Amino acid sequence: MARARILFFIAVVLAAGGGCGRGREASAASSDSTAGLGAGGAADFSGRVVFQSDADGNNEIYVLTAQGLTQLTHNTWSDEYPLWSPDGRWIAFSANPDGNYDIFVMAADGSGIRRLTSSPRDEVEQAWTPDGKKLAYTEEVKRPFGKRYSLWIKDLATDAVERLAPEFPDSAALPNFSPVAPLLAFTGKKTPGWDVFVYDRAARTYQALTEGGHACRPHFSPDGRTIAYVSHEADRRGDIWLMAADGGGKRRLTVRDETSDYFPTWSPDGRAVVFCSSAETMYAHEGRWGMYLVDVATGRVSLFYDGPGRDVFPDWHK
């Protein structure tokens, strides 16, 4: 029975969204703005939240502001996992127009889409370096039993690609850079499950910040002092937790045993975390998902946005 539970958790974390993870080039999108936010509504907020939704029948990229909703991509394939550049001018995302996933980048209005990677392997889950000059991503290699994940980084000016955190001996995925220190947080596998690790890019060393194989998806706060992440430790379904950048001071931020809470992203001022929640599933490609906001100081949770589609992978920029 214990082995069955372990295998179940591994399957969850390896899925294309529910846990650790997760074209011909798209033409520039002419954005369709929606006046108002419909029945789903949205919390009052400032800035721009980019996210993935299948509201039009397949996964596309949308931007939500206080003024309304804008669809940036209009394709027959999947556009997923959008992420703002540090200066807010660009959005990196993954897409599969040729079957496998590659990394693309487009302007904030959906124009100028450019492919950054092209290989028979899936390249997903990208992360900008703080200076916006490079993109890290996860490469997935299929094996007879499951997949192996590794981290790579691409220089956007020279197109040079190199392995990231090569000292880590096992699968590594979901990179996220500290905005103030040479640190890289990632989800790594050194046990039957997954844990959160941090890699010091200057010292070229890594350390585990969690243990037990029940944690993933780390995300540094805007000041680099705190990491939001997902843990199954409390309810086996997934909650948003916080810890210091050195792994200390862990605390459960969402206490919602009836839901799976995933995909955390910080507000620009660091006072709140937006996350996605489902009462039906832990998999991003199944069931209904809405976006919620939790106040870091009080733990108060409120609805952020709940549209007609499966709304996941938010990223908030001022």
In tens, the pLDDT along 207-228 reads 999 999 999 999 999 999 999 9
Cα distances (angstroms) measured from residue 27 to each of 24, 112, 208: 9, 8, 42
Fold of domain 2-317: Neuraminidase (2.120.10)
- Measure the CA–CA gap between 1 and 100, rounded to whole angstroms: 35
- Residues 130-158 have a mean pLDDT of 95
Length of the chain: 318
Number of continuous H segments (helices) and E segments (strands) in the chain: 1, 25
Instruction: Return the SS3 of 6.
Output: helix
Strands in 180-255 per DSSP E: 183-188, 195-200, 205-208, 215-220, 226-231, 239-244, 251-252
Weakest-pLDDT range from 41-55, 110-124, 238-252: 41-55
- Measure the CA–CA gap between 316 and 226, rounded to whole angstroms: 16
- The model carries a pTM of 0.88
For 49-83, how does the pLDDT look when each residue is reduced to its tens digit (9 = 90+)? 999 999 999 999 999 999 999 999 999 999 999 99
Amino acid identity for residue 38 in this structure = G
DSSP state at residue 112:
S
- Measure the CA–CA gap between 177 and 193, rounded to whole angstroms: 22
Give the domain ranges of the chain: 2-317
